[in-house]
Amino acid sequence: MARKIWEKDTTVDGGVEAYTVGRDREMDLFLAPYDILGSMAHITMLESIGLLEREELAVLLEALRDIYSHTQDGSFIIEEGVEDVHSQVELMLTRRLGDTGKKIHSGRSRNDQVLVDLKLFIRAEIETLVGEISRLVDTLTELSDRYADIIIPGYTHLQVAMPSSIGLWLGAYAESLVDDLTVLRAAYTVANRNPLGSAAGYGSSFPLDRAMTTRLLGFDTMNYNVVYAQMGRGKTERIVAQAIASVAASIGKLAFDACMFSSQNFGFIKLPDEYTTGSSIMPHKKNPDVFELTRAKCNRLQALPMEITLITNNLPTGYFRDLQLVKENFIPAFGEIGSVIDMVIRMLAGMQVNPHAADDPRYDMMYSVETVNRMVQEGVPFRDAYKAVGRTIERGEFTPEKQLHHTHEGSLGNLCNDKILELKNRIVSSFDFNKYHSAIEALLAR
């Protein structure tokens, strides 16, 4: 069995080891490529301050590039008895290079290793998520434009209120997701700061060049205070989880609407048959299981920030093992929100729209405000027009005029989807992912 990199002469009880390691090895497989990149930056810096010879750096970088390739083709594993990804990488290096492999740990702790791994992982996952959200916004605006003139009722208090449209409904979610991108942009700013060099949270007596590792890894800046760098563990994940939860809230609400609008009592849309299921007893049923599960998954994702808060809430300054548990719920969240977005895009692409939904007489009263507004334009005071139309409704004499004349920005006749896409594209470009890509490519080419 491999020896722990922290182990002295005491053998750890097997039950204790299993309990404390938990799912860490499983989660660390997600972090493996980033652990190697962090090590490459760190040892490059160590050579620059005289803690490694140039020849040692060269062979270490070559070995790390080889290990990195295994993380990309799926062949990298954390062996049985090896505690975590950091231990596995160091073990592979020492097998290959002997004592030279043991030198990569100078000036750092597993604490700042996992911090930098998580920051690099978060950065890459946010980039993927931004692309997925952007694709969903594009889908929503495209469908919003296509169905701009398909009238459906709008609701307040779940009561029929005023005319809406399929286009207005879908465009609302596009803009909601653009706001979520803004939140995600702020989370990216927090995540894209370099903690490497904080060691166990109190720095090092070695003259570490933290500006150099910041540059090599493509971070915007560093976490300057080494104590705060450690305090950022858990906080960064919570902030990013809040951004994910914001996206999930938008999609969960859309899923609820889709379930409701596709039911027989509404009938505004029809979901693709291949994404619905039947009943074991009622032959007529087509259940919106995909959107129901989407709603539940989004609710679960919205709980993530609170889960992280409850794990980290009572921790004082410094590192504590509690933080390990954050990874178990946080790391898989990116895959979950990604699968949700992909499935929603598929559902929307196959959705059919009922162009005659608003013809049902039960919706006639939603045109009452149009009548009031027309009377106001003819010179009748609003309150008088309101009362007059109300009296015709009470007497059962109201006759709707269904010609709509909404022209202001964001209304039925002026959806502003082009402006929503402009805003989305501006936010997406502000992430500037190319900066870190260039840095990582240069690091791997050293």
Provide the terminal-to-terminal Cα distance of the chain, rounded to the nearest Å: 34
Give DSSP secondary structure letters for 231-282. Answer: HHHHHHHHHHHHHHHHHHHHHHHHHHHHHHHTSTTT-SEE--GGG-B--SS-
Query: Does one domain contain both 120 and 174?
Result: yes
Return the half-sphere exposure (C-beta side, CA atoms, 13 A cut-off) of residue 213. Answer: 31
Q: For residue 318, what pLDDT is reported? A: 85
Give the range among 1-5, 78-82, 395-399, 442-446 with minimum mean pLDDT. 1-5
- In terms of pLDDT, which residue wins out, 14 or 373? 373
CA distance 219 to 37: 13
Mean local confidence (pLDDT), 20-24: 69
Across the strands, what pairs with 270?
352
- Among 56, 79, 106, identify where a domain stops: 106
Residues 244 and 331 in one domain: yes
196, 189, 192, 191: which is closest to 211 by C-alpha? 196
The answer to whether position 168 is within a domain reads yes
Within-domain flag for 2: no
pLDDT of residue 395: 96
pLDDT score for 13? 56
Q: Which pLDDT does position 11 carry in this prediction?
A: 59
**Are residues 436 and 318 both part of a single domain?**
yes
Together in a domain, 349 and 371: no
DSSP structure class, residue 10: P
Residue where a domain stops, chosen among 63, 87, 106:
106
Q: How confident is the model at residue 14 (pLDDT cuts 50, 70, 90)?
A: low
pTM score of the predicted model: 0.92
Which tokens hold the place of 421? 């896409």
Give pLDDT tens digits for 141-186: 999 999 999 999 999 999 999 999 999 999 999 999 999 999 999 9
pLDDT category at 9 given cuts 50, 70, 90 is low
DSSP-assigned letters across all residues of 152-202? EEEEETTEEEEEEEHHHHHHHHHHHHHHHHHHHHHHHHHHSEE-TT-TTTT
192 has a pLDDT exceeding 90: yes
Whether residues 315 and 403 fall in one domain: no
User: 62 versus 314: which is more confidently predicted?
Assistant: 62
Q: Are residues 349 and 374 in the same domain?
A: no
User: Does pLDDT of 282 surpass 80?
Assistant: no
- Same domain (yes/no): 118, 173: yes
Residue 237 lies in a domain: yes
Last residue of a domain, one of 106, 131, 162: 106
The span from the CA of 139 to the CA of 161, in Å, is 27
6 has pLDDT over 90: no
Mean pLDDT rounded to a whole number for the chain = 93
Beta-bridge partners for 193: 221
> What pLDDT score was predicted for residue 5?
52
Tell whether 236 and 311 lie within a shared domain. Answer: yes
- Round to whole Å and give the CA distance between 306 and 411: 36
Residue predicted with more confidence, 279 or 188: 188
**Residue 8, in any domain of the structure:** no
188 and 302 assigned to the same domain: yes
| Structural domain range at position 395 | 364-415
Phi–psi pair at 11, nearest 5 degrees: -85, 130
Question: Which residue, among 106, 112, 103, has the nearest Cα to 208 in the 3D structure?
Answer: 106
Do residues 162 and 138 both lie within one domain? Answer: yes
Helices (H), 262-323: 289-312
Per-residue pLDDT tens digits for 240-274: 999 999 999 999 999 999 999 999 999 999 988 88
Query: Residue 3: inside a domain, yes or no?
Result: no
Q: If you average pLDDT over each of 16-20, 77-81, 381-385, which comes out highest?
A: 381-385
List b or e across 418-428, with b for residues whose CB sees 16 or more CB atoms inside 10 angstroms: eebbebbeebb
Is 4 within the bounds of a domain? Answer: no
Does residue 211 surpass a pLDDT of 60? yes
What CATH number did the domain enclosing 238 receive? 1.20.200.10
Residue 92 lies in a domain: yes
Q: Encode pLDDT of 101-145 as tens digits.
A: 999 999 999 999 999 999 999 999 999 999 999 999 999 999 999
- What is the residue-wise DSSP string for 106-166? TT--HHHHHHHHHHHHHHHHHHHHHHHHHHHHHHHHHHHHHTTT-EEEEEETTEEEEEEEH
Average pLDDT on 202-225 reads: 97
Nearest C-alpha neighbor of 65 from the set 106, 35, 34, 37: 37
Residue 6 lies in a domain: no
Looking at the fold, whether 169 and 268 belong to one and the same domain comes out as yes
The verdict on 289 and 150 lying in the same domain is yes
As a whole number of angstroms, the distance between CA 277 and CA 408 comes to: 41
Residue 261's alpha-carbon distances to 152, 199, 266, 284, 367, in angstroms, are: 10, 54, 5, 17, 20
**How many domains is the chain partitioned into structurally?**
3
Q: What is the pLDDT of residue 4?
A: 54
Distance of alpha carbon 440 from alpha carbon 225, whole angstroms: 24
**CATH number for the domain that contains residue 65:** 1.10.275.10
pLDDT at 283 over 90: no
